[in-house]
Amino acid sequence: MSRMWVFWIMTVCSLEGKELHVSENLVTTICRLELCWARIWLGYMGRVPDKTKQWNRLEENRIYLHSKSFLLDDSLREHLFGQHIAHSVILGALKAHFREDARPKKALALSLHGLSGTGKTYTSQFIINSLFKKGPKSKYAHFFTGRNHFSMESKTDIYKLDLIDWIRGNVSECDRSLFVFDEVDKMPKGMLDAIKPFLDYHEEINGVDFRKATFIFLSNTGGNLIVEKLLHMWENGTKREDIKLKDFEELIRKGAFNEKGGFQRSETIESNLIDHYVPFLPLEESHVRQCIRAEFRNRGEKFPHEEYIREVLKYLTFGPEPHKLFSNSGCKRISSKVATVMEQILRDMDDNFHNSN
C-alpha cells in the first residue's frame, strides 16, 4: 500500500515536471499517514458489526412477528367461549397497536380480570401464538407468574430491580416485545409500580423507546365484583351478549386498586396507565358444555353422547345461591374430568366385550 502512495506521488510530481527524491523521511511520513488512515478505517469497521447486528435483530423481529397477526380473531372465535367483551376489546387493542403504520404514544397495557377458569391464561396463550411465529418459544414473548417469579414479599426490591433490567434489556433488543404477568394478585403489593415509567407517555427512557411494547396483566381481582354486577344485570333482564366493556371497567379498576396483589394501591392504576381493564365473565352451563365438547373432540370423540357430557357436569358445582348460574371453577378442571369419563367409557366397553364373549 505504501508503495502505491509513493508511486502516486511520484507520478503526480513527474506530471508537474518536478524531480522527486524519495527520501526515507517521505516514506516514513507516508507510512504514518497510512497507519492513521488504517486506524480510521478500522474504527469505522468496528462500528459495522454493531450495525449489522442491529439490522439482524430487526430482520429477526420481522420474521418472528406474524404478518397476519390477526389469526387471533379466528383462534378466539373457535376456542374461547362466553367471552364476547374480552374477545372484541383484546382484538381491537392489539390490532391498533400492531398496525404497521402505528405510532403509539405509549406502550399498550391490558389488564384481564375474572374468576378462576374463565380463560385468562388460555387467552394469553392465543395472543402469544398469534403475534410470534415461535409462540411461547419466541425470545420476544415473556411470561411471568406471580407464584413462580415474585413469590417472596421480602424480596420485592430485588424483584423490582431485576424486572426493570430485564424489560429494558429486552425492549432495547426488540421494541415489539410482549410481557405477560400472570397471577398479579399473588405478587407483593406495589410490585408492578416498578414498570410504571415503561407504560407512561415518554418518547424514550435512557435511549430506549418503550412505546411499541405490550404489557398484559392477569388476575382474579375484581372477579367477585364482576359476578355481582352480572347477576344484577341478569335480574334486570339484560342479555349477556348486550353487556359492554363500559359496564365493568370502572368496577374492575377499583377492585384491582383495592384488593390484595401487585396492583394494590398502585401508582400505575392511579396514573391511568392501564389502557383497558378487560372483564372475563363467569361461565354458564352452556359455555361449560362447549368446553366439555371441545375436550372430547381433542381426545378423538367428535360427537360425545349427552350422557357423557352429563357425566362430566356431575363433577362441577355452580353458584352463587340462589340461582346457581355460574360454574365455580369455570372450565378449568374439565380436561381432567373428561379424561376420567373417557377412561370409564373405555373400561365399560372392555367389560361389555369380555362379557359378550
Q: Which is nearer to ligand ATP, 238 or 286 (CB)?
A: 286
By the criterion CB under 6 A, which residues form the site for ligand ATP? 79-83, 114, 116-122, 220, 283, 291, 330-332, 335
ω into 320 cis (within 30 of 0): yes
Q: Checking DSSP bridges between strand 108-114 and strand 276-280, what pairing results, if any?
A: parallel
Distance of CA 186 to the CA centre of its chain: 18
* Residue 256 CB, nearest approach to Mg ion (Å): 15
Q: Give the span between the Cα atoms of 100 and 40, in whole angstroms.
A: 38
* Residue 145 CB, nearest approach to ligand ATP (Å): 9
Q: Which is nearer to ligand ATP, 79 or 254 (CB)?
A: 79
Sheet holding 214-219: strands in order across? 141-145, 178-182, 214-219, 108-114, 276-280
Q: Give the span between the Cα atoms of 295 and 337, in whole angstroms.
A: 10
Q: 3-state DSSP: the chain helix, strand, coil percent, rounded to 5?
A: 60, 10, 30
The verdict on 121 binding Mg ion (CB under 5 A) reads yes
Which of ligand ATP, Mg ion, none binds 122 (CB below 5-8 Å, type-dependent)? ligand ATP
* Residue 119 CB, nearest approach to Mg ion (Å): 8
The verdict on 335 binding Mg ion (CB under 5 A) reads no
Q: Give the span between the Cα atoms of 153 and 8, in whole angstroms.
A: 74
For residues 226 and 114, the answer to whether their CB atoms sit within 8 Å is: yes
Q: Which is nearer to ligand ATP, 124 or 266 (CB)?
A: 124
In the bound state, the residue with its beta carbon closest to ligand ATP is 119
The verdict on 125 binding Mg ion (CB under 5 A) reads no
* Residue 112 CB, nearest approach to ligand ATP (Å): 8
Which of Mg ion, ligand ATP, none binds 119 (CB below 5-8 Å, type-dependent)? ligand ATP
* Residue 306 CB, nearest approach to Mg ion (Å): 30
Which of ligand ATP, Mg ion, none binds 70 (CB below 5-8 Å, type-dependent)? none
Number of amino acids touching Mg ion (CB under 5 A): 2
**What burial letters (b/e) apply to 174-203, b meaning 16+ CB within 10 Å?**
bbbbbbbbbbbbbbbebbbbbbebbbbeee
Q: Checking DSSP bridges between strand 276-280 and strand 214-219, what pairing results, if any?
A: unpaired
Q: Which is nearer to ligand ATP, 16 or 241 (CB)?
A: 241
Q: Give the span between the Cα atoms of 256 and 277, in whole angstroms.
A: 9
Which part of the chain contacts Mg ion (CB under 5 A), choosing from 72-80, 116-124, 144-152, 266-274? 116-124
Q: Which is nearer to ligand ATP, 116 or 258 (CB)?
A: 116
* Residue 89 CB, nearest approach to Mg ion (Å): 18
For residues 313 and 292, the answer to whether their CB atoms sit within 8 Å is: yes
Which of Mg ion, ligand ATP, none binds 109 (CB below 5-8 Å, type-dependent)? none
* Residue 183 CB, nearest approach to Mg ion (Å): 7
Which of ligand ATP, Mg ion, none binds 142 (CB below 5-8 Å, type-dependent)? none
* Residue 298 CB, nearest approach to ligand ATP (Å): 9
Q: Is 335 helix (H, G, I), strand (E, B) or coil?
A: helix
Closest by Cα among 229, 230, 227, 214 to 274: 214
Q: Which is nearer to ligand ATP, 127 or 171 (CB)?
A: 127
Q: Give the span between the Cα atoms of 213 and 90, in whole angstroms.
A: 15
Q: Which residues bind Mg ion (CB under 5 A)?
A: 120-121
